[in-house]
Structure 1
Amino acid sequence: MKRHFTAFLLAVLCGALAYSAAAQRQNQPKQGDVYVDKQGVLRWQQGKQEVALFGVNYTTPFAYAYRAHQQLGVSHEQAIAQDVYHLSRLGLDAFRVHVWDVEITDTLGNLQENEHLRLLDYLVAQLKQRGIKAILTPIAYWGNAYPEPTNTGKGFSSIYSKQQAYTNPRAIKAQENYLTQFLNHRNLYTKLLNREDPDIIAFEVCNEPSYHKPEEQVTAFANRMAQAIRATGCRKPVFYNIAENPSVHEAILNANVDGLTYQWYPQGLVSGHTLRGNFLPFVDQYPIPYQQDARFQRRVKMVYEFESADILQPVMYPFMARSFRTAGMQWATQFAYDPMALAYANTEYQTHYLNLAYTPAKALSLLIASRVFHQVKRGQTFPRYPADSVFDAFRVSYRQGLSEMNTAEEFLYTSSTQTVPRKVVSLQHVAGVGSSSVVNYQGTGAYFLDKLASGVWRLEVMPDAVLLRDPFERASLQKTVTQIVWNDQPLRVQLPDLGSAFVVQGLNEGNTFRATAADGQVVLRPGAYLLASSSKNTAAWTAQTAVGNRKLGEFVAPPPTKMPPQVVHTSFAQATARQPLQITAQVTGAEAADSVLLVARSYYGATRTLPMSRPTLLTATATIPADLLRPGLLQYWIVVRKPQQTLTFPGGFAGTPRDWDYFHAEHWEVAVVEGATPLTLFNAQTDKEQVEVARLARSSYNDYTTATPTGALALRLLVPTPPTGEPANEPGPAIALRAYLGQKLQERSTDLIWLRYLVIKARATRPGAKVKVVLVTKDAAAYSAIVPVTIMLQDIWIPLDSFRPDALLLIPRPYPSFLPLTFQTTAASKPLSLTDTEVLQLIVETGSGGTAPTLQIESIELK
C-alpha cells in the first residue's frame, strides 16, 4: 500500500512539474541579470541564452487609471493583484511603463515618497511573484490629466516641455537628480533597490522625447542621462528611444546606450470608431531603414509600445509579434492593458481596448502572440502576406477572424475552429473562445484547460462578455460598452484521458460545485474547476496547490454587470425586395425558457409576430418571410418575454408594439429595394462618422461643407499650398478617403450582378483634376482606376471592368513614419470581384509642383 501511495505521489509531482515547465516555458531561464554581448544580443547572465520577453504596459499606479479606481471605490492593490493574475494567465512575461515622473517628483527632480510610488513598488512586487520581468522608463514627460482636462502633477515635467527637457540646463539637472534617486529607491515590498532588482532587467531613459537638429545636442543629452543611471552603480542595459524622432536617428545611433526602442501603431490612433477590413498587410513586416548600420546592429532592440488601435479583430497581434522577431526585437510590450475595473467603459485610452474578461478573443490573440514571440527566432524571415498566414505552429485567418497555435502540447484559438489538434493525446494546454473538437462551448468568455497529470486537468472559465456599443467612440465611466454576464452554460470536454464521465469539482473561493459529466458535458458557471477521470484520486490537488506561479484555486473575474435585459442589433441599410431576410441579435438577461419574438411590418402594412430561435443562450435569430419584403420600408422590433416582464427593443420599453397603448417611436427599419436599385456606398450626410480620412501631406486637412449647387453635405479634401518659406509637399498621396463597404455589399449580395458602374458625385476646385479610386478585396488585393474630376458637381461613371491591379495604400497611416505606405499583394492577379470587395479608397495626389486640387465628394454609389 505504501509503495502504491508513493508511486501516486510521484505521479502527481511529475505531472505538476511537467505542467509548471510547460506553462512557464517562456520564463526559462529567468534568474539573474542580463547583459549585452558583442553582437548586440541581450542574454541572461545565467545560461547565456537569448532573452525574448513579451507583455504589456499597465498604468494603475498613475494618472487617470489611479484616479478612476479611486472614483469607483476600487482598491488599487486589489486591482493590481487581480490584473497581474490575468497577465500571468495570458502567458505574458514582460511589463513596461513610462513612470509619470510628474506625480513622484518635485520641480528639482527630488523623488517623492508618495502613494503613486508605493503602488509602483507594489506592482513590481506582484509582477515578480508571477515571474514577469520589467523594464521601467523613469521619465515620461507627460502631465497626468489625460483624458481629463486638468494636470495635477507637481514635478519637473509640469514646468518644462519636452523641447525644453534636453536644452534647459535646470531641466537637465532635475532629470539627472531624479534618475539618481529613482535608481537608488528601495522598493517597500521587495526591499531591493530598483537598480539591483534582477527582475527589473533594464531601464529606458525617457518616453517619446521630442528632438530636432542639431544632432550633437541630442547625443550629448542622451549620454548625460545614460551616465546619470550608470553613476548610481547600475550595470543593467540602458535603452533609448530612436523611433519617435526619425529625422535625428543618427544622434541616438551615436549615443552611449546599450539598446534602441521602437513603437508600432500600424493603422494610426483614435479613429473614433471601430476600424473594419483586412489590416494584416499593415503588420506584415517592420522594416527599419538603417538596419544594416553597424551602430544599429550592435544594439539590443526593444518595442516599448505597440497596438492594433481601434481594432477588435483577434488576428493582429500574432503577425505583429512575428514581424518584431524578424526585425530583431527581443522585447515587446503592448500599450496598454486595460485594468479590469475600468474595462467595462474603456475610458483609460479610448483607442486601445484589451482585457481578458472584456475582450476575450483579442486577449487570447495576445497569448498566441506571446507564443509566437518566444518560438520564432530572432531574424527569422517569412514570405509576404497572404502566403505567410500559416507559419511554424501558427495560423492567422482574417476571413475567419481566427488566430491559432497548434502543437503536440498546446492548442490555442481565438474563435470557433474546425482545426484538429496535432496530437490530442499529448496535449498539455488548451485555451480558446468558442468551440473546437476538444471543447464545445456556447459562451463568449475565454476558457483554459491545463493538464496536471494523466486524467487530471484544471479548467478555468471566464464569464460571457457582450459588446453593447462601439468601444472606440468617445468614452465615459457613465457608459458601459461591454456587459459581463454570469451564465450557466453547457461545456463539453473531449480529452482521451478524461473519458466521458469525468468528475468536476469547484476550486475557487465559494465554488462548491461537484458533478459528474454525462457524455463529456456538464453545465458550469464561471470559475475554476478540477476535472478528473472517474478512476483518479484527486486528494493531492486543492485550491491551495501551487503549480508554477499560480495556485489552482485562483480565479479572477468581474461581477455581473447590473443592468436589465439587453438586445444588441444593427439593422441593414437596405434589403432586396421579395427575398427572405434573416435577423440576428445578441440577447442578454433572457433565460433559456424565456421567449424572444420578432415583430415586423411593412410600413402601413400588416404586422406579424415571429418566434426567434435561440442557437445559443446569447443569440436569437428569425427569418422575415419574402411576402413582407415588398419595395418600401420594413420596420421591426425584438420582444423579450419573461414570466413577469415583457420588454421591447430598441429601447427596452415595457409592453409590445402590438399593445394598443405602446407609444414608443423607437424601432429598426430597412429600406426594401428592387435588385437593380443603386447601392449607396458613401453618403456625406449619413456616413461621416464611419469613414477614415488620411491626411498624408503636411498641410492637408478635411471638413464637411455644403456642395454647390445641390446644397447637400459634402466631404471636402483639401491640400493647401504650404506657407512661404516652408518646403513644398512631396509628390504622391496627399489626402485619402477610406470607407469600409463590406456590410453594405453583403446586404445586397444577390443584386451585385446587376451593378456595373461605380458612380462618384463630386467636383474639384480647378480644371484637369484627377482622383485615384481604389477597390480592395477581403484578401487585400487592390484595384484602381484614375478618373478626371471637373469643376462642376456631377456624376462620374467608372465601369467596374476598368479597374486594374495596383498597390494598396496603407491608410490610416502607419506609425512610426519610416514604415512603408503601400503594400503589393503576392497573390496571383485576377479580375476584380465585386462580391469579394470590402474597402474603397479615394486618393488625391500632390503633383510635381507641390499642389493638389480640393475635392468635394457628395456620394459614391454602385449602379
Structure 2
Amino acid sequence: MGYIKSYAQIKVNKKVPTVFVDPQGVMRWSDTKAEASFYGVNYTVPFAHAYRALREKGIDHKQAIDRDVYHFARLGYNAYRIHIWDVEISDKNGNLISNEHLDLLDYLFFKLQQKGIRILITGMTNFGNGYPERNENTDAFTYHYDKCQVHAHPDAIAAQERYIGQLLRHVNPYTGQSYLEDPYVIGFEINNEPCHMGAVQTTSAYIARMVAAMKKSGNKKPIFYNVSHNMEHVSAYFNADIQGTTYQWYPVGLVAGRQRQGNFLPYIDQYAIPFSNLKGFASKAKAVYEYDPADNLYSYMHPAMSRTFRSAGFQWITQFAYDPMDIAAYNTEYQTHYLNLAYTPAKAISTMIAAEVAYHIPRNQKFPPYPQNTAFGNFLVSYEQDLSLMNAPDKFFYSNDTKVKPVQPQKLQHIAGRGSSPVVNYAGSGAYFLDRLEDGLWRLEVMPDAEKIADPFAKPSLNREVVHILYRPQEIAIRIPDLGERFTVQPLLGQHDATKAIVVDATTFVAQPGVYLLKRKDLQLYTSWTASSIWKNGRLDDYYAPKTEPLKQPILIHQQPEVLEKGRSAKLQFRLVYEQQPDSIILQTDQVSFWKDNNPYIKLVAKDQDTYEAEIPASWLSGNELKYTATVFVGGKQVTYPDNRAGAPLDWDYSVKRYWTVELYEQHARIPLFESLDKASSFESFAIPETAHMTSVRQQQDLGQIPVWTYTFQAKDAGAQYFWVKDIKAVAQGRPAGLAAARQLCLLLKYTGQGAALKAGFVTKNGYTYMKDIPLGSAETTVRIQLADLQLVPTALLPAPYPVFLERFFKPAVPAEFDSMDIEKLIVSGQQMEGQSLSIGAVWLE
C-alpha cells in the first residue's frame, strides 16, 4: 500500500507575536503580555541517523517531514526543539556550510510554521553524528576537539563564535527570514549538554563570549543555557547574561535494552531543583529541552510528568524524541526512546493529553503528593489501567480503554483516543480523532492498526521490525449526542469509494483507515464541506499513514505465564497479527503424536478481531511443567508457534523445535522468586550514589551444593547503598493461591564481614516499598522474614534518574498497609558493605 497524502501550500504569516522573558523569568507573548506555554517534541530528520536511514530506505526527506509535521499538529503540539548537528553543517573553522542538511532544516522550520508550531534552536551538539552507528568524520570544528575541551580551547571557541553568528544570520529560503528574524523561533540554546571542566571562571568566560557573538550578529531573542550538567559550575550559568535555563528529565534511566515494567508514578511525583535559591535563578525562564520516561510503552506517564513540570514552573516542555514515521517500524534512531502516532498510538495520545496539561495547568500550581495527585484538573492518570485521560466539557481524550463518561457529552468538540470509551467503541489498535466542524457534522480520522511484534527497546536494526502496521476494516460505534443514532458517513480519503455515503443505523459501521465526514440525519449544513476545504492550516482530507507490505505469514504473539498452579484451570491469551482472519487456531501440548489416534487439542476462542483465548483444563496441569504449541490455520496455510514455521505438530514430517514451557506448582508449595541456577543473574543491581558499585560472580563449591551469586562492593563516598531488584509480577499472577497462603519471605544467604545492614522486601503495584532488617551471620543460613513484619520505607528510584541532582528516594506521605497480593518487585538492599562479600543462593515465599 502506498502513502496516503495530500498537501496544501499555505503562506506563512509573518505578522505573528514573538516571545520575551520578563524580569521575573516568565516567557510572555509580545502582543498580549500573557504567559506562554509550550509542549512538543525533538525530531531529527535533517541530521545523523534519521537522515541516513531515510536515505537508505529510499524515502524523500521532505515528504517524510510533511507526514510527521502533520502528526505533530494532529497531536496538538505547539513546540519543537532540535539540537543541530554542527558537524554536518560546518567546516573546521566554524563556517556554516550550505548543504542538504541545512536545506532540510530550513524546510522543516517552514513546515512547522505552517502549523503554528514554535521552535527552540540549540545551535550545537558538539559531538559526532553516528549514533547508533559509527561517526562520519566531516572535518567540522567539533571533530578537532574533545567534548570537554571544545568549550575551553581558544581556537574551538573562536570557531563556535564564527559558527553561531553565521547560523543566526542564515536566511531560510522557504520563509525569507533569518533565524534571528523568524517570529516562530522563540529563542536559542547555545549548545547541547555542555561538558565544563576546570575553573568556574572558564565556564563564565565561555558563555559570555558566545552571548556576545550572538548579540553582535543582531540577536534580540532569549538565550538559554543548559543547567542540568556540571553541577559544580551552576553559579556560572545563573550569573550569565542569559534569559533562560534548560533542564532534562529521564526518570527511569536510559538504555535498559528491554522494556521496563512497573508503577513509575512515584518516580515522577516531584522535580526538585536544589539550586533554586541561587541569585539569578528567579529571573530566568525554565525550559525542558529533553524528557522521556524511557524504555517503556506505557501511556500513563507523560501527563503526570507534564503536571510536575508545570508545578515546578516550566513553560517549555519537549519530549525526546519523536520517531520519523518512515523508520518508526524499527525504532533504530534512539533505542531507548519510542514515540510515533502511527506506531505507538496509546503513548502518542498520552502526549496529546500531556500537551493539554501544559496549556491548562497554571505555572507553579502545587499538588498533593502521590497517590493523591493522580486526578488533577480535567486530567486523570492510572498505572493499573495504563491510562491517561482528559475530560473537559469540550475535549475528551484517552490513551486506552476507559469507562469514564464525558462530563458534558452534549458540548464535546474534540475526541481523541485509542481503544474504547462510552462515546466510541472501537476494535482496532490504532488511534482515531473526531472533530466537530459545525452543528451535527464531524470529521473522523482513523489510523491503521499498530501491533507490537518484538521488544522495541532491544538492540535495534533496520531489518528488525518491532511494530507492524495493518490496514484492516474495523467496526466502530460512535455515540455522540450531536450526531444521534442515525447519521451518514462520507469517506474523504482511504479505502472506501469517496463518492458513496454510508447510512448508519444504531451508531455502528465498519471503517477502514482514512478520513470521513459524519453528518447527522437530515441535517442542513451551513457550509459546503469538501475534501479540499481548508481546515487547521491544511485540507480537510489531509491524512498520512505508513507504507506497509502485507505479511507473508501470520504472527502469533503470546506472553506465556512464568508459572501456573495445579488443580485449577488457566486462561492463556494470544494476539494474532495478520491481514486475514484465521480459519482456526489450535493449541496442543507436547503429548500429541502423529502415531496416536486420540490427540487432545483446544480451539482458541476469539475475544475480538485480534485477541484469542484458550482455557486450559485443570486436568492438563499435571507434572512439573506444561509444554504447548499453537497452530494458525488460515488461507490454506498452517503455521506453528513458537517455532514460527509452516506445518503442524501432527504432520508426519513436522518436528517441534520449541515449546512454550510453564512451570507447574502445587497451590500451597513455596514460591521461588530467585534461583542461582542460571548462568546469568536475574537480579538487576544498583548503587546509590553511582560512584559506588558492586561486582558479582557465580560460585559453586562442589556439585553437591547449589551455586550462589557472590557480590563484593566498592564506594568512593560514605553512606553508599546497594540494591538488588527483580520483577516478580508474572510469578505473583501465576501463583494466587500460594501467594494468599504465604507468610514468610525466605533468603538463602552467606555473609563475610561485619557491620553491614541488610534489608529485604517488596515493591507493590502502587509503587510503595515494604522491607524488614535481615540478621546476618557468617555461615550460610536461611533467613526468614515474616510478611506481617514488613514496614513501609522510602522507595528507591532505580535506575538512576537524570539529571543527577534529582531525589533518589520517594518518601510516601500517605501510608498504606502491605498486601502480599499486590507485590510486583522483589528488593534487597544493603549498607556498609564495602570490603565485605554477600552471597545469595535463593529467595522464595512460603
TM-score scaled by length of structure 1: 0.92
Q: Of 776, 785, 792, which aligns to 1:805?
A: 792
Q: Of 298, 312, 329, which aligns to 2:283?
A: 298
1:222-256 CA-to-partner distances (Å, cap 9, x unmatched) read 11111111111110000001111122211111111
**Does structure 1 conserve the Cα–Cα contact (< 8 Å) formed by 2:435 and 2:444?**
yes
Separation of aligned partners in 2, 1:306 and 1:658: 52
Q: Are residues 124 and 29 of structure 1, via their aligned partners in 2, closer, same or farther at CA, if it must alter by over 3 Å?
A: closer
The aligned residue for residue 719 of structure 1 is: 713
Separation of aligned partners in 2, 1:714 and 1:168: 51
Separation of aligned partners in 1, 2:683 and 2:504: 49
**Does structure 2 conserve the Cα–Cα contact (< 8 Å) formed by 1:284 and 1:385?**
yes
Separation of aligned partners in 1, 2:679 and 2:282: 47
Separation of aligned partners in 1, 2:680 and 2:513: 41
**Does structure 1 conserve the Cα–Cα contact (< 8 Å) formed by 2:757 and 2:832?**
no
Query: Which piece of structure 1 moves more, 138-147 or 631-640?
Result: 631-640
The aligned residue for residue 750 of structure 2 is: 763
Q: Are residues 301 and 769 of structure 1, via their aligned partners in 2, closer, same or farther at CA, if it must alter by over 3 Å?
A: same
The aligned residue for residue 525 of structure 1 is: 512
Q: Are residues 409 and 265 of structure 1, via their aligned partners in 2, closer, same or farther at CA, if it must alter by over 3 Å?
A: same
Query: Which piece of structure 1 moves more, 326-335 or 561-570?
Result: 561-570
- Partner letter of residue 683 of structure 1? E
- Name the SS for the 1:268 alignment partner: coil
Identity of aligned residues (%): 38
Residues 1:551 and 2:534 aligned together: no
The aligned residue for residue 677 of structure 1 is: 669
Separation of aligned partners in 2, 1:803 and 1:482: 41
Q: Of 649, 658, 663, which aligns to 1:657?
A: 649
Give the drift of 1:683: 3.4
Separation of aligned partners in 2, 1:517 and 1:689: 58
Q: Of 807, 820, 831, which aligns to 1:845?
A: 831
1:468-489 CA-to-partner distances (Å, cap 9, x unmatched) read 1211111111111111111111
Q: Are residues 718 and 227 of structure 1, via their aligned partners in 2, closer, same or farther at CA, if it must alter by over 3 Å?
A: farther
Separation of aligned partners in 2, 1:823 and 1:308: 17
Separation of aligned partners in 1, 2:452 and 2:275: 43
Give the drift of 1:631: 2.9
Separation of aligned partners in 2, 1:446 and 1:324: 26
Separation of aligned partners in 2, 1:288 and 1:764: 39
Give the drift of 1:541: 1.1
Q: Of 559, 564, 574, which aligns to 1:570?
A: 559
Separation of aligned partners in 1, 2:71 and 2:31: 28
Q: Are residues 542 and 856 of structure 1, via their aligned partners in 2, closer, same or farther at CA, if it must alter by over 3 Å?
A: farther
- Name the SS for the 1:154 alignment partner: coil
- Name the SS for the 2:172 alignment partner: coil
Q: Of 788, 812, 821, which aligns to 1:825?
A: 812
Query: Which piece of structure 1 moves more, 590-599 or 37-46?
Result: 590-599
Give the drift of 1:561: 4.5
The aligned residue for residue 126 of structure 1 is: 111
Q: Are residues 152 and 788 of structure 1, via their aligned partners in 2, closer, same or farther at CA, if it must alter by over 3 Å?
A: farther
The aligned residue for residue 164 of structure 2 is: 179
Query: Which piece of structure 1 moves more, 85-94 or 780-789?
Result: 780-789
Residues 1:73 and 2:82 aligned together: no
The aligned residue for residue 19 of structure 1 is: none
The aligned residue for residue 363 of structure 2 is: 378
The aligned residue for residue 5 of structure 2 is: none
**Does structure 2 conserve the Cα–Cα contact (< 8 Å) formed by 1:709 and 1:793?**
no
Query: Which piece of structure 1 moves more, 187-196 or 638-647?
Result: 638-647
Q: Are residues 461 and 702 of structure 1, via their aligned partners in 2, closer, same or farther at CA, if it must alter by over 3 Å?
A: farther
**Does structure 2 conserve the Cα–Cα contact (< 8 Å) formed by 1:307 and 1:334?**
yes
The aligned residue for residue 8 of structure 1 is: none
Q: Are residues 528 and 852 of structure 1, via their aligned partners in 2, closer, same or farther at CA, if it must alter by over 3 Å?
A: farther
Separation of aligned partners in 2, 1:508 and 1:691: 51
- Name the SS for the 2:521 alignment partner: coil
- Name the SS for the 2:600 alignment partner: strand
Give the drift of 1:666: 1.5
Q: Are residues 486 and 377 of structure 1, via their aligned partners in 2, closer, same or farther at CA, if it must alter by over 3 Å?
A: same
Q: Are residues 710 and 67 of structure 1, via their aligned partners in 2, closer, same or farther at CA, if it must alter by over 3 Å?
A: farther
- Name the SS for the 1:805 alignment partner: strand
Give the drift of 1:158: 0.7
Separation of aligned partners in 2, 1:322 and 1:745: 32
Separation of aligned partners in 2, 1:496 and 1:690: 53
Give the drift of 1:756: 2.1
- Name the SS for the 1:780 alignment partner: coil
- Name the SS for the 1:64 alignment partner: helix
How large is the RMSD of aligned CA atoms in angstroms? 2.2
**Does structure 2 conserve the Cα–Cα contact (< 8 Å) formed by 1:768 and 1:790?**
no
Give the drift of 1:841: 1.8
The aligned residue for residue 581 of structure 1 is: 570
Separation of aligned partners in 2, 1:148 and 1:685: 36
Separation of aligned partners in 2, 1:185 and 1:161: 27
Count of equivalent residues:
826
Query: Which piece of structure 1 moves more, 764-773 or 557-566?
Result: 764-773
TM-score scaled by length of structure 2: 0.94
**Does structure 2 conserve the Cα–Cα contact (< 8 Å) formed by 1:106 and 1:154?**
yes
The aligned residue for residue 692 of structure 1 is: 684
Separation of aligned partners in 1, 2:796 and 2:559: 29
- Name the SS for the 1:295 alignment partner: coil
- Partner letter of residue 151 of structure 2? Y
Give the drift of 1:661: 2.2
Separation of aligned partners in 1, 2:26 and 2:486: 51
Give the drift of 1:30: 9.6
Give the drift of 1:690: 6.3
The aligned residue for residue 773 of structure 1 is: 760
Residues 1:750 and 2:746 aligned together: no
**Does structure 1 conserve the Cα–Cα contact (< 8 Å) formed by 2:258 and 2:458?**
yes
**Does structure 1 conserve the Cα–Cα contact (< 8 Å) formed by 2:699 and 2:710?**
no
Query: Which piece of structure 1 moves more, 204-213 or 542-551?
Result: 542-551
Separation of aligned partners in 1, 2:832 and 2:689: 8
Give the drift of 1:793: 4.3
Residues 1:856 and 2:844 aligned together: no
Separation of aligned partners in 1, 2:91 and 2:702: 60
Query: Which piece of structure 1 moves more, 599-608 or 641-650?
Result: 599-608
Separation of aligned partners in 1, 2:73 and 2:398: 18
- Partner letter of residue 744 of structure 1? V
The aligned residue for residue 647 of structure 1 is: 639
Residues 1:238 and 2:220 aligned together: no
**Does structure 1 conserve the Cα–Cα contact (< 8 Å) formed by 2:698 and 2:710?**
no
Q: Of 600, 610, 618, which aligns to 1:626?
A: 618
1:334-389 CA-to-partner distances (Å, cap 9, x unmatched) read 00001111111111111001111111111111000000011011110000000001
Q: Of 765, 773, 797, which aligns to 1:786?
A: 773
Separation of aligned partners in 2, 1:436 and 1:451: 18
Q: Of 403, 417, 420, which aligns to 1:432?
A: 417
Give the drift of 1:678: 2.3
Separation of aligned partners in 1, 2:495 and 2:653: 47
The aligned residue for residue 82 of structure 1 is: 67
Q: Are residues 780 and 28 of structure 1, via their aligned partners in 2, closer, same or farther at CA, if it must alter by over 3 Å?
A: farther
Q: Are residues 182 and 548 of structure 1, via their aligned partners in 2, closer, same or farther at CA, if it must alter by over 3 Å?
A: same
Separation of aligned partners in 1, 2:677 and 2:515: 50
**Does structure 2 conserve the Cα–Cα contact (< 8 Å) formed by 1:505 and 1:530?**
yes
**Does structure 1 conserve the Cα–Cα contact (< 8 Å) formed by 2:643 and 2:657?**
no
- Partner letter of residue 598 of structure 1? L
Give the drift of 1:755: 2.1
**Does structure 2 conserve the Cα–Cα contact (< 8 Å) formed by 1:697 and 1:730?**
no
Separation of aligned partners in 1, 2:279 and 2:157: 30
Structure 2: segments with no counterpart, 5+ residues: 1-11
Q: Are residues 274 and 570 of structure 1, via their aligned partners in 2, closer, same or farther at CA, if it must alter by over 3 Å?
A: same
Separation of aligned partners in 1, 2:614 and 2:628: 12
Residues 1:834 and 2:815 aligned together: no
- Partner letter of residue 650 of structure 1? P
Query: Which piece of structure 1 moves more, 684-693 or 464-473?
Result: 684-693
The aligned residue for residue 36 of structure 1 is: 21
- Name the SS for the 1:164 alignment partner: coil
Separation of aligned partners in 1, 2:676 and 2:96: 53
Structure 1: segments with no counterpart, 5+ residues: 1-26, 722-727
